[in-house]
Amino acid sequence: MLATFLQEAAQETAEQLPEEKTLSFIELIFDGGMAGTIVIAILFVLLVVALYIYFERLFAIKAASKTDVNFMSQIKDNIANGNIEAAKIRCAQENSPVARLTAKGVSRIGSPLEDINTAIENAGKLEVYNLEKNVSILATIAGAGPMIGFLGTVIGMVLAFHELASSSGQAEMGSLAEGIYVAMTTTVAGLIVGIIAYIGYNHLVVKTDKVVHQMEATAVDFLDLLNEPA
């Protein structure tokens, strides 16, 4: 008898409990109104642009960092033997910033050492520019993403309090809280975009610096080669 009573009481309690409501990602995007949807759409476009630039630059920098380990030794042997044309051909075969810097120096052999150094430096600046192409856009997205997200949140808050003011303070707290909660999703989206772009930017900077150091070391080796006594 007691067991039956407890079972019925448990069933009634379960029926009275409110059904748990879940909120999907799609609902978070489209339930925020026109302003929230526009902000999320802008952030999504920025995310796609950031990911495209990151992977495009990453593959380009990786390709630029690949150089034959025997490249400089072959160039040294050709120059030591007086075979300048063979050195130029070897540089043309190696499609990398290091090879292009070396080719610029080889083409200036016979000129004053200062002129050779200046030519290599100018070529190096062009190579660095090509490596860093569009990378600054990642830095811009890293800063603009969170700001756009905060803008969406502020717009959502303004609309929510406008609804409260229009109803003379009689607006339902549920709808008010839901509007603010949905508006906060733009902040989350903006921070996600900003964090991804920031990490991608710094990773590319580190990769680019490695290639730049490799070019500087090559330039030093080449100039030292020209300074060696015959």
Tell me the pLDDT tens digit for each residue of 96-125.
888 888 888 888 887 788 888 888 888 888
Average predicted confidence (pLDDT) for the chain = 79
- Check residue 193 and give its pLDDT: 94
Q: What is the pTM of this model?
A: 0.76
Please spell the DSSP secondary structure of 171-225, one letter per residue.
--HHHHHHHHHHHHHHHHHHHHHHHHHHHHHHHHHHHHHHHHHHHHHHHHHHHHH
Residue 150 lies in a domain: no
DSSP 96: S
Rounded Cα gap, residues 148 and 155, in angstroms = 11
Two tokens at 165?
């003011």
Total count of domains within the chain: 1
Residue 123 lies in a domain: yes
Task: Please check whether residue 163 lies inside any domain of the structure.
Answer: no
List the one residue out of 46, 43, 50, 45 whose CA is nearest residue 149: 43
Query: Domain for residue 115, yes or no?
Result: yes
Instruction: Please provide residue 111's backbone torsions phi and psi, each rounded to the nearest 5 degrees.
Output: -85, 165
**Residue 81: its pLDDT value, please?**
80
pLDDT digits 0-9 by tens, 24-40:
556 555 555 676 778 88
**Is 110 within the bounds of a domain?**
yes
Whether 171 is in a domain gets the answer: no
Distance CA 135, CA 185 (A): 27
Within a domain: 90: yes
5 confidence band (pLDDT: 50, 70, 90) = very low
Domain encompassing residue 114: 70-131
Could you give the count of Cα atoms lying within 13 Å of 133 in the half-sphere of its Cβ? 12
pLDDT band for 215, please (50, 70, 90 cuts). Answer: confident
Residue 106 inside a domain? The answer is yes
The larger pLDDT score, comparing residue 194 to residue 4, is at 194
